[in-house]
Amino acid sequence: MKDSTDFAGTIVDVAANGNFIVHVVDPGDGLLVLTPPFSYVTEPSRFAAEDQFYNARNSIMRAYELVKDDEFAVSAEGFDTNPSKGQTVTVTATTRKLHTA
């Protein structure tokens, strides 16, 4: 697994539902993978939490090529730190989450 080359974004706003709006400054070779965080496991409740969700190997997913000035929303669970408006967003291969600085 390698890091996404040159992806850079900025958190430009916080939506009414609490999700963070990321504006794409430089898409690099990054892809946006969209899969609803749905789990059939509901008990114990800690296994139903969104941070326990993952995409299984060889499962079918949709991936969208990003372009400059795209915007997408990400919940706080999608970041490896506490996100806030104005932070820079990058991607690394060592985590399933966005990195903020």
In a domain, 80, yes or no: yes
Most confident of 19-23, 34-38, 94-98: 19-23
Domains contained in the chain, number? 1
Give residue 13's pLDDT: 97
**Within a domain: 46:** no
Per-residue model confidence (pLDDT) at position 3 = 57
Cα-Cα-Cα-Cα torsion 44, 45, 51, 56, nearest 10 degrees, comes to: 50
Does residue 99 carry a pLDDT above 80? yes
pLDDT of residue 34 exceeding 90, the answer is no
The radius of gyration of the chain from alpha carbons, rounded to an integer in Å, stands at 14
- What are the phi and psi torsion angles at 25 (to 5°)? -90, -45
- Specify if 88 maps to a domain: yes
Q: Is residue 15 part of a domain?
A: yes
Task: Tell me if 1 is assigned to some domain.
Answer: no
In a domain, 43, yes or no: no
In a domain? residue 85: yes
Residue 53 in any domain: the answer is: no
| Residue 100 banded pLDDT, cuts 50, 70, 90 | confident
